[in-house]
């Protein structure tokens, strides 16, 4: 009887436990949101993706290639972009110095010895007009030359200049001379044509010969003072016509190599001023400045208001269009100092480290001269994480096998992996290992060339 009661009690407890479990499962099912419940199709899709990932063969990828899951890429901000080939338009900005146009600079030099008798109000920097008197000087030769000049102008002049008859030439000698001889003589001594015309008109010999401005311009050098004695060849004044000036802009050789060509238009601005000018690159070769290690590129422009003065500094902006080239963002390249690396997106989350060679850099774009092809997709953001993962992969490859340098593609190759895939070649008793079949094929076509490298 006692045994029967025990069995009935056990069955009652078992039935109660079953009913309680059923009620708990139903309650938990009702608490789950419909969007969180996995349908049979979703489960099948997840299982399919797991199979696809398991089926991916990464054995043909170079050493250092890593796989980053989509969730991890999103978390660290990995972004990719396509390598494109296009012409690059940019601006080169530099500093320039204003200089007078050498063709419009006038040096007033003494044609004989003499003394400065008088100077006028024309300090350095003064704007003077053409044929304006700058100073006067004296030389005893002027009187004799003037007498002879007046003598050949008319025979009646001999009666009017009694004081000068002793120094004048005889009439028979004067007849054989051309008047141009004395005109040239007076010009060589420093007399202007304007003063010679005045002499011919007044028939009055003067002791003062005037230094005249040959053109309208600014005095940029003044070396005279009253009573000063000078010798032949002495520079009295230096004038510059500033209606047209030069800009000497500094460019580094790498900028000038692909930079502005003759005829290029450039924008010139005065710092802290709202003044803009348009200059043209001259048809001359740049001059190299040893002190600054830069090339002096010459620009020419009109300066009608004289806003630009010699030795002023200006800002210069050159527009430059470079021929089509492969370019990538600067941030896409990891530069260790010894090598430059980018990560190529090989699909399915795999990223291959690729050593590249670079050319010019302008702004945020860098030219790729070797290592990439147009249309390849590379990492342009978040590549530091991928680089750390790649280094761990390479370290692991170094632990489990020796690394060798691919002589064709320049990549580090796991010897064990290359042996397994048959990517090796023998040449002159040495074994070479390769990161891909293409690299091995190129080596086999010309092994001597790559072996020397």
Mean pLDDT of the chain: 78
Q: pLDDT-based confidence at 6, cuts 50/70/90?
A: low
For residue 22, is pLDDT > 80?
no
With bands split at pLDDT 50, 70 and 90, how would you rate the model's confidence at 335? confident
For the stretch 368-383, pLDDT in tens is: 998 898 889 998 887 7
d(CA 385, CA 77): 10
The pTM for the full model equals 0.54
Residue pLDDT, tens place only, 350-367: 888 888 998 877 778 888
pLDDT over 50 (residue 261): yes
Considering Cα of 70, then 74, then 78, then 80, what sign does the dihedral take? positive
pLDDT of 286 above 60:
yes
State the angle between helix axes of 179-189 and 141-153 in degrees (0 to 180), rounded to the nearest 10.
150
Residue 176 is predicted with a pLDDT of 44
Q: 49-53, 194-198, 216-220: which range is least confident on average?
A: 49-53
State the span(s) of the chain assigned CATH 2.40.50.100: 104-240
| Integer Cα distance of 307 and 304 in angstroms | 8
pLDDT surpassing 90 at residue 106: yes
User: Does residue 58 register a pLDDT over 90?
Assistant: no
pLDDT score, position 59: 57
What proportion of the chain, given as a percentage, has pLDDT over 70? 77
Residues of the chain with CATH 2.40.30.170: 91-101+243-320
List, in order, residues 6 or more apart from 378 with CB less than 8 Å away: 80, 81, 83, 328, 332, 342, 343, 344, 345, 354, 372
Percent of residues, the chain, with pLDDT higher than 90: 23
Q: With 0-12 CB in 10 A as exposed, 13-18 as middle and 19+ as buried, what is 128?
A: buried
Q: Which pLDDT belongs to residue 269? A: 93
The dotted CATH code for 91-101+243-320 is 2.40.30.170
**pLDDT at residue 192 greater than cutoff 60:** yes
* Residue 172 pLDDT exceeds 50: no
Across the range 424-449, mean pLDDT stands at 86
CB within 8 Å of 445: residues ≥ 6 apart: none
pLDDT at residue 385 is higher than 80: no
pLDDT in tens, 314-328: 999 988 777 788 888
Pair of tokens at residue 275:
């003044």
Second CATH level (architecture) for the domain 104-240 = Beta Barrel (2.40)
Distance CA 201, CA 195 (A): 10
Query: Edge-to-edge strand order for the sheet containing 133-138?
Result: 209-212, 133-138, 114-119, 229-230
């Amino acid at each position: 009887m006692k045994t029967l009661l025990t069995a009935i009690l056990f069955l009652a407890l078992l039935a109660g436990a079953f009913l309680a479990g059923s009620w708990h499962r139903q309650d938990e099912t009702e608490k789950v949101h419909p969007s969180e419940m996995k349908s049979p199709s979703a489960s099948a899709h997840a299982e399919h993706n797991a199979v696809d990932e398991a089926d991916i063969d990464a054995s043909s990828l170079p050493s250092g290639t890593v796989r980053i899951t989509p969730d991890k890429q999103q978390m660290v901000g990995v972004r990719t972009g396509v390598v494109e080939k296009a012409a690059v338009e940019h601006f080169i900005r530099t500093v320039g110095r204003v200089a007078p146009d050498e063709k419009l600079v006038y040096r007033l030099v003494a044609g004989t010895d003499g003394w400065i008798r008088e100077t006028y109000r024309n300090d350095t920097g003064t704007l003077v007009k053409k044929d304006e008197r700058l100073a006067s000087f004296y030389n005893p030769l002027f009187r004799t030359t003037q007498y002879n000049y007046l003598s050949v102008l008319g025979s009646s002049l001999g009666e009017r200049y009694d004081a000068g008859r002793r120094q004048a030439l005889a009439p028979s000698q004067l007849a054989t001379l051309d008047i141009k001889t004395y005109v040239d003589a007076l010009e060589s001594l420093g007399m202007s044509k304007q003063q010679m015309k005045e002499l011919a008109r007044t028939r009055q010999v003067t002791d003062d010969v005037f230094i005249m401005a040959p053109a309208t311009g600014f005095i940029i050098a003044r070396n005279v003072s009253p009573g000063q004695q000078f010798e032949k060849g002495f520079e009295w004044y230096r004038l510059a016509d500033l209606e047209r000036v030069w800009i000497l802009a500094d460019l580094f050789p790498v900028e000038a190599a692909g930079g502005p060509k003759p005829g290029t238009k450039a924008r010139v601005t005065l710092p802290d001023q709202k003044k803009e000018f348009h200059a043209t690159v001259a048809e001359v070769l740049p001059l190299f400045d040893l002190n600054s290690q830069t090339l002096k590129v010459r620009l020419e422009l009109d300066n009608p208001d004289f806003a630009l003065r010699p030795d002023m500094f200006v800002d210069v902006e050159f527009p430059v269009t470079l021929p089509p080239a492969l370019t990538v963002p600067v941030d896409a390249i990891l530069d260790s100092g010894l090598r430059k690396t980018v990560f190529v997106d090989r699909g399915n989350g795999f990223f291959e480290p690729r050593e590249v060679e670079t050319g010019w850099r302008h702004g945020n774009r860098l030219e790729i001269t070797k290592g990439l092809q147009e249309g390849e997709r590379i990492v342009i953001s978040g590549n530091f994480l991928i680089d750390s993962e790649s280094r761990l992969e390479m370290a692991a490859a170094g632990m489990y096998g020796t690394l060798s340098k691919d002589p064709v593609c320049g990549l580090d190759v796991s010897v064990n992996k290359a042996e397994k895939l048959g990517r090796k070649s023998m040449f002159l008793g040495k074994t070479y290992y390769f990161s891909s079949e293409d690299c091995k094929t190129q080596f086999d076509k010309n092994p001597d060339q790559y072996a020397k490298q």
